[in-house]
Chain A
Amino acid sequence: MPGEAVTTWVYAVTPEDTTPPSGVGVDDGPLRRVAHAGLAAVVSSVALSDPDEVDRRLRQPAELEALARTHHQVVTSCFEAGPTVPFRLATLYRGDDGVRRLLAERREELSAALATVAGRAEWGVQAYAVAAAPPPAEEPDPAAGPGTAYLLRQRGRRLAQQAAERAACEAAERIDRALAEVAVAVRPQSTGGGARQAGTLVLNTSYLVDEREQETFRATVEDLARRHAEVRVRLTGPWPAYSFVGIGRDE
Chain B
Amino acid sequence: MTRFEADPVGHHPWQRVPLVDLLDRVLGKGVVVSGDLAICIAEVELVRLSLRLLLSSVRADLLEAAPLTAPAHTARGARVGGGAGAALPGHAAAALPAGGADTCHGRRAGRAGAPPVRPVEVDP
For B29, give its contact among A54, A88, A185, A237 (CB under 8 Å). A88
Most buried by B among A72, A199, A201, A218: A201
Chain B residue with minimal CB distance to A102? Answer: B33
Name B residues whose Cβ lies closer than 8 Å to a Cβ of A: 1, 3-5, 7-10, 14, 16-33, 35-42, 45-47, 49, 52-54, 58, 62, 65-66, 68, 70, 72-81, 84-93, 105-106, 109-110, 116-117, 119, 122
- Residues of chain A lying within 8 A (CB to CB) of residue B84: 246, 249-250
Contact B87 A249 (CB under 8 A): yes
- Closest chain-B Cβ to A40's Cβ sits at a distance in Å of 14
A54 to B38, CA, bound (A): 9
A-B CB contacts (within 8 Å), total count? 245
Contact of B33 among A165, A193, A239, A248 (CB under 8 A): A248
Smallest beta-carbon distance A71→chain B, Å: 6
Q: Given A55-B40, A190-B117, A193-B21, answer yes or no on A113-B31 (Cβ-Cβ < 8 Å).
A: yes
Task: State whether A169 touches B20 (Cβ < 8 A).
Answer: no
Per-residue CB contact flags for chain A residues 135-171 toward chain B (1 = under 8 Å, else 0) read: 0000000000000000000000000000001001100
Name the CB-closest residue of B to A186: B80
Let me know if A2 is at the binding interface, CB within 8 A.
no
Decide yes or no: A188 and B28 within 8 Å by CB, A91-B35, A233-B8 being known contacts. Answer: no
Q: Which of A75, A92, A173 has the most B CB atoms < 10 Å from its CB?
A: A92
In the complex, whether A189 has a CB less than 8 A from a CB of chain B is yes
User: 15 pairs across A/B with beta carbons < 8 Å?
Assistant: A10-B35, A88-B105, A102-B33, A172-B74, A190-B119, A195-B54, A198-B62, A198-B66, A236-B7, A242-B25, A242-B30, A247-B31, A248-B32, A248-B33, A249-B85
Bound-state Cα–Cα, A88 to B46, Å: 14
Report whether A188 and B49 are in contact in the complex, using a CB–CB cutoff of 8 Å: no
Distance of A196 Cα from B47 Cα, bound (Å): 13
| Nearest CB of B to A121, in Å | 10
Residues of B within 8 A of A191 (CB): 72, 74-75, 90, 92, 119
